[in-house]
Chains A and B, each alone.
Chain A
């Protein structure tokens, strides 16, 4: 049964309307970033104005945000490259295990995520300080990997739960050992889930603020910390924040655009269920 043209167009328009409303704060913030403060916060709001790119220029060139982008990139990529593989392995194990041991571990992981982060800031600082690792990349990377584990494991486990055990057994009969079952049989099936998990891990590491504030210093300062330095006290700071925030979205957007091919292509794997 093919959906009618009319209903498809209606659906598309509805979704477009939702998207536009959803994007309003971002569009408005972008416009704020190219206006002079007197126009940006004027009453009534100005839709016609002379644009200025001075704030974007200030952010990236004068305030040298490109340096912080490199720091953020190093940390985010490292976190994804470590966190996703080990989390996926653990998720595979937990999805295949029977018994209360695995359930206990799952709930333990969940419990770790439920504790307010602001209370972990001081112990983390003390630990990193004692190990002399403040303002180094490893400290930040390992902290984020650990914090990210519960989410990664839970997410990948959901995807692994959809891979039927029959597939595992068939592979075993064919002579595969456990690692081969994981790597060559189960993993390809959950590939879209893997990419989604990569995306969220990247986002978490890229946008993390509190631990970056505490664990990084001048040499490893990340973008969120840099942006947060301009929150208040002068109207120009608001325009700078807007310019910075819009600017730093770009790498993630580009990553997502590259990712989309994998997402949409792989999503039609309903054929696995037999």
Chain B
């Protein structure tokens, strides 16, 4: 019996060694190196990834899509090591400044000018490109615009004879009114960091004085800022259970399962509301600009790594092809096109019932401050705000602490000289 067992183990050993050797041999043979792309994943980006794969004849594009945090981790590891393992990198309006400041991305201005006619790049309004500029240079090709807008249950509102709120005060009132144990008045997404930032952005810009002043000094702890966070704290009393660890998915779910009557969510989530395989409230949700406006608008786009060994023109062609007007029109159900010709197309407004709300929201939407250290500061700020909301600290004390930490951070990065 011992001999039999050991024979099996020896056989396994040989198999293992053989596998390793063939892997070694196979791994080194590669012809035209495929283009490596890494991206965040949601349906619109899956759509674009497929377009990139078929963008240029004979060029293989390896698309790796994964949740934002992991994509960011991988991009950080790869780009900070100046490795050539990544060619095309996903960047949104918050990460692009950080990546650009660190010198990880290639400026696209020359390529943009060169290919402007061929791909009709003038169709992108400056409004779509501004979030992607750092020190005046453009770093990203926009593919999708996202904006947070107000979702509300038309049936419930009609029943109660109410209109969607136009001001924050009305919103708080309505949230309170609609709040029942079985169905919360509103959704709140307060999972650290990203979800909280989105909510806080709305409050700080509508009630408060914003995040920073022109010299990048924190102003979120001003008197109005304190009022804003106190309003946030009050509204959490009418929010769905589990809001403190709810991210976008949980909030979307709450709306889809009739667990809340209204709230703020991304435009990319609108289509899912009317999908019967996902939602119980098909055709019952309507959209409008958020009360008070000033919600966050984000742009999803793709940049070129500064350390790529591929031909930059080839990479740019891939990006310009995937972001063509035709593609944007094709995917209009799940994305909001940055190109003017598509966005302003009256056909879309007729075809998709979420578009009027989206366009209204875009009117007053505000991107996050173009500060490269914004997410890092956001780390401190959201922590403190969540401590305040959870009752661990007073709101004013929390915001002051956050302001102090942020100032310290920015000082250490060379600001305020």
Contacts and interface: CB of A to CB of B under 8 A. Distances in A.
Interface residues of B, number: 50
A168 interface: no
A77 B34 contact: no
Interface string B185-205: 000000000000000000000
Interface string B36-57: 1000111100000000000000
Interface in A233-264: 233-238, 262
A43 interface: yes
Interface stretch (B9-17, B166-174, B347-355): B9-17
Contact of B83 (A43, A129, A188, A228): A129
B62 A218 contact: yes
B67 A37 contact: no
Interface in A41-89: 41-43, 74, 77-78, 80-82, 85
Interface string A202-230: 00000000000110011110000000111
Nearest to B23: A137
A126 B27 CA distance: 19
A230 B278 CA distance: 16
A233 B70 CA distance: 13
Interface in B81-134: 81, 83, 85
A96 interface: no
A230 B64 CA distance: 11
B295 interface: no
Interface residues of A, number: 44
A108 interface: no
Given A233-B268, A235-B253, 18 more contacts: A38-B280, A42-B257, A78-B17, A78-B20, A122-B81, A129-B85, A136-B24, A138-B23, A141-B20, A188-B2, A213-B70, A218-B62, A228-B66, A229-B41, A229-B70, A232-B249, A235-B249, A236-B278
Chain A to chain B: the 10 pairs with minimum beta-carbon distance, closest first:
A81-B16, A137-B23, A233-B42, A136-B27, A229-B66, A231-B67, A218-B62, A37-B278, A78-B16, A36-B277
Interface of B: 2, 5, 12-13, 15-17, 19-20, 23-24, 27-28, 34, 36, 40-43, 62, 64-68, 70, 73-74, 77-78, 80-81, 83, 85, 247-249, 252-253, 256-259, 268, 272, 276-280
